[in-house]
Chains A and B, each alone.
Chain A
Amino acid sequence: RKEVEQDPGPFNVPEGATVAFNCTYSNSASQSFFWYRQDCRKEPKLLMSVYSSGNEDGRFTAQLNRASQYISLLIRDSKLSDSATYLCVVNPGGDKIIFGKGTRLHILP
């Protein structure tokens, strides 16, 4: 099993819809979790951290399920500008972080 797995997509979603995608991780001792966003031919940028209690930032909600070893990202009222690749990032301990391959999201007008 890969350390961090994501559905590569693409997810083609009409503007205004809600979209959610998950990311699974293999190391049950993983400490910290993040979602990064990467636009085409640009660098990744931190979108949000994922806390045990879940967290929300505007239209974005991130949740952690330790029992099933996955994190999720929910985007409500999607905008055209949300089109990007969303990278799941896991810290398995220490200072190393592991990136998933990313999920491509296309918001359709």
Chain B
Amino acid sequence: DAGVTQSPTHLIKTRGQQVTLRCSPKSGHDTVSWYQQALGQGPQFIFQYYEEEERQRGNFPDRFSGHQFPNYSSELNVNALLLGDSALYLCASSLTSSSYEQYFGPGTRLTVT
């Protein structure tokens, strides 16, 4: 039973560039949430996708957008990267009925220079 997978593992980008991060949920899960975790901080909720729609959103600007595909996998896009976007980006999947019990992927470490 495959767990949550994310790609790439690490990424280095320059300010102003755009980035796309990818996530495949745990088998049987249909809900995907994205989090940003800065060094020394807890994960901050970005948004959640269910049935290919953004269901909830945290306090992140419109530069952060996402998508969910029919196979439940998801992408996180960040435009016009800022230095402050450097962080670990975590994807978590869950069953709709108990979406507060989340299973995390290993994350993508994004460095913006």
| CB closest chain-B residue, reference A42 | B106
Complex contacts, A99 vs chain B, CB 8 Å: 35, 42-45
- Binary interface profile of B, 39-61, with partner A (CB < 8 Å = 1, else 0)? 01111110010000001101000
| CB closest chain-A residue, reference B101 | A46
Neighbour of A95 across the interface among B42, B43, B100, CB < 8 A:
B100
**Alpha-carbon distance A99/B45, docked complex (angstroms):** 8
Neighbour of A44 across the interface among B31, B41, B43, B45, CB < 8 A:
B43
**Alpha-carbon distance A96/B46, docked complex (angstroms):** 10
Q: Does A101 contact B (CB under 8 A)?
A: yes
A6 → chain B closest CB, angstroms: 8
- Contact indicator A97/B104 (Cβ below 8 Å): no
Number of interface residues of B (CB under 8 A): 22
- Contact indicator A91/B100 (Cβ below 8 Å): yes
- Contact indicator B104/A45 (Cβ below 8 Å): yes
| CB closest chain-A residue, reference B38 | A101
- Contact indicator A97/B45 (Cβ below 8 Å): yes
B90 → chain A closest CB, angstroms: 6
B68 → chain A closest CB, angstroms: 15
- Contact indicator A101/B40 (Cβ below 8 Å): yes
**Alpha-carbon distance A96/B99, docked complex (angstroms):** 8
**Alpha-carbon distance A44/B58, docked complex (angstroms):** 19
Q: Does B102 contact A (CB under 8 A)?
A: yes
A-B contact list, 22 entries, CB within 8 Å: A4-B42, A8-B40, A32-B100, A34-B100, A34-B101, A43-B105, A43-B106, A43-B107, A46-B103, A87-B43, A89-B100, A94-B56, A95-B31, A95-B55, A96-B48, A96-B56, A97-B45, A97-B100, A97-B102, A99-B45, A101-B41, A102-B41
Binding site for A on B (CB under 8 A): 31, 35, 40-45, 48, 55-56, 58, 90, 99-107
Binding site for B on A (CB under 8 A): 4, 8, 32, 34, 42-46, 49, 87, 89, 91, 94-102
